[in-house]
Structure 1
Amino acid sequence: MSLASAAIKLGENKTIMDSYWNFHTKKQNWFFSPNPKLAGSTRKPNSFASWNDWSALSSSQKSTLSSLSGFHYTASNVKKNNDHLARLKKAYQEWDSRLYSTFWSNSGSHKIWLCNVFVGDSIYLYNQRSFTAANRHYYDPRQILNGQTSLKKRIGYEETQPGDIVVIGTGHVEIITSLENHFIADDGFCSVGAGRGERGNNGDGRIRCDGAFNPRETRELDNKNNTYFYI
């Protein structure tokens, strides 16, 4: 599987993309990742069938099951009755054991963007390696731009290929899925990512492409705001 294919596959995972959005909007204090090596990573419990099992869970496991069940992520509104237990058990059954709820700080007034998490998760799916700094958090766009990672920088945009990582400006990063050749506008690219601040067709996990008629699109290959890297 290529990195571009891994990124497309990740973007099609609704469970993960929804968790990104819920983390971004502070509906919950965690997001799902296929990478168990991240800081704050929490695995699915081995079993869950009773309130005794509930009492034995870690606070992170309780938070994950509470969120998945439609309760507050603090589990503050979970009551020990049959109805709530049934909801929690259903959420447990639906929790894919290959996904780890990841708890990163999200308590400030500003919203946390997860464009770097999407790129890091894609790289992990591609080669099983953690694209992380010493704190076991994925490298952010500025760290990539400043050459603090193992990624190699493209000398010129003409070398860009599908699977390259593009830093847009200094604060956003995506993975290129294909290149676009246009008759009117300059050549561009399609890319997939997260942290775009919207949902629907242009939201997390969706592929966005350079326009065929506008020569000033963000995804123009020769846009001086873009910097290209590769593994």
Structure 2
Amino acid sequence: MNLLLVEAAKKLGTDKEIMDSYWAYHEREQNWFFSPNPNLNQASRRPASFDNWSSWDRLSTKQKMTLSTLAGFKNDATDIKRNKNHFSKLREAYISKWRTDLYSIFWANDSNEKLWLCNVFVGDAIYLCNGKNFTSGNNHYYDPKQIYNGQSFLKKRNSFKNVQAGDICVFGTSHVEIITKIHKNWIADDGFCSIGAGRGGNRDDMGLIKCDSFFSFGKRELDNDNHTYFQI
């Protein structure tokens, strides 16, 4: 039972800055999301200082894009004017909206489709739990299909009867979540609760724990042929 991963996942799920960024990225309101992992591809760190327009000029393009979005300007910062009011908004975003422990990650593509971050939630939770990089060769987190195919360092459970809290469930080959609790039922089949992102729905679904119930139609039953389980 990996309760450390469960606690890390719960902590991540209540991190407003990260979950807000996941949702905005999912909805394509911005082209980056926040992660605690500095080792990911296209990661941009918070500037060490931001005191004047000269500081702005020294920022990387990705740092400018991050601050611009946080301050309510366009993703590409093209609507920023070099005046006191705009700098004040950028400065406030730097101080209050970009924590020193968060990195903006630029993985967006050019399509108009929504972007799904279920694997990012799992990867970020693992990083918070033990500092390991749950990444493939391109420094992107393993996606559900790669996990399903055994390409990551996770170990596959041989039976659903051995599944524990802290294990990872791959739904089909396209979605992944972290199991937070096992439900032993007297009459109905045993089920589980799990936490994750990339579910669609609305912002409140980001980082929310969902459990097996009569209304979930077996989606979180342990004995489900659509599920594959893994442990760290």
Shorter chain as denominator, the TM-score bin is over 0.9
Match of 1:111 in 2: 114
* DSSP 3-state at the match of 1:158: helix
Match of 2:206 in 1: 204
Q: After the TM superposition, which residues 190-229 of structure 1 pair with which residues of structure 2 at under 5 Å, given as runs? A: 190-201=193-204, 203-211=205-213, 213=214, 216-229=217-230
* DSSP 3-state at the match of 2:217: coil
* DSSP 3-state at the match of 2:173: coil
1:3 paired residue among 2, 5, 9: 5
Match of 1:16 in 2: 18
CA RMSD of aligned residues (A): 1.2
Query: What is the Cα deviation at residue 215 of structure 1?
Result: 8.2
Alpha-carbon distance in structure 2 between the residues aligned to 1:47 and 1:6: 30
Counterpart of 1:41, as a letter, is A
Match of 1:178 in 2: 181
Alpha-carbon distance in structure 2 between the residues aligned to 1:216 and 1:6: 28
Match of 1:139 in 2: 142
Alpha-carbon distance in structure 1 between the residues aligned to 2:199 and 2:215: 20
* DSSP 3-state at the match of 2:210: strand
What TM-score, normalized by structure 2, do the two folds share?
0.96
After superposition, the Cα gap between the structure-2 partners of 1:71 and 1:177, relative to the gap in structure 1 and judged at 3 Å, is same
Query: What is the Cα deviation at residue 161 of structure 1?
Result: 0.4
| 1:26 and 1:106 in contact (8 A); partners too | no
Query: What is the Cα deviation at residue 198 of structure 1?
Result: 1.6
Alignment deviations for residues 156-182 of structure 1 (CA, whole Å, 9 cap, x no partner): 001000000000011000000011122
Alpha-carbon distance in structure 2 between the residues aligned to 1:16 and 1:207: 16
5+ residue gaps, structure 2, are none
| 1:115 and 1:174 in contact (8 A); partners too | yes
After superposition, the Cα gap between the structure-2 partners of 1:187 and 1:103, relative to the gap in structure 1 and judged at 3 Å, is same
Match of 1:90 in 2: 92
Alpha-carbon distance in structure 2 between the residues aligned to 1:47 and 1:176: 40
Match of 1:38 in 2: 40
Alignment deviations for residues 9-48 of structure 1 (CA, whole Å, 9 cap, x no partner): 1000011011011111111110000000000000000100
Query: What is the Cα deviation at residue 49 of structure 1?
Result: 1.2
Alpha-carbon distance in structure 2 between the residues aligned to 1:79 and 1:114: 33
Query: What is the Cα deviation at residue 216 of structure 1?
Result: 3.4
| 2:167 and 2:229 in contact (8 A); partners too | yes
Which is worse superposed, 137-146 or 183-192? 183-192
After superposition, the Cα gap between the structure-2 partners of 1:22 and 1:185, relative to the gap in structure 1 and judged at 3 Å, is same
Alignment deviations for residues 59-111 of structure 1 (CA, whole Å, 9 cap, x no partner): 00000001111111111111111111111000100210000001113321222
* DSSP 3-state at the match of 1:2: helix
5+ residue gaps, structure 1, are none
| 2:156 and 2:231 in contact (8 A); partners too | yes
For the pair 1:123 / 2:136, whether they are aligned, the reply is no
| 2:20 and 2:203 in contact (8 A); partners too | no
After superposition, the Cα gap between the structure-2 partners of 1:23 and 1:215, relative to the gap in structure 1 and judged at 3 Å, is closer
Alpha-carbon distance in structure 2 between the residues aligned to 1:217 and 1:77: 49
Match of 2:80 in 1: 78
Identity fraction in percent = 55
Match of 2:169 in 1: 166
Query: What is the Cα deviation at residue 185 of structure 1?
Result: 2.1
* DSSP 3-state at the match of 2:66: helix
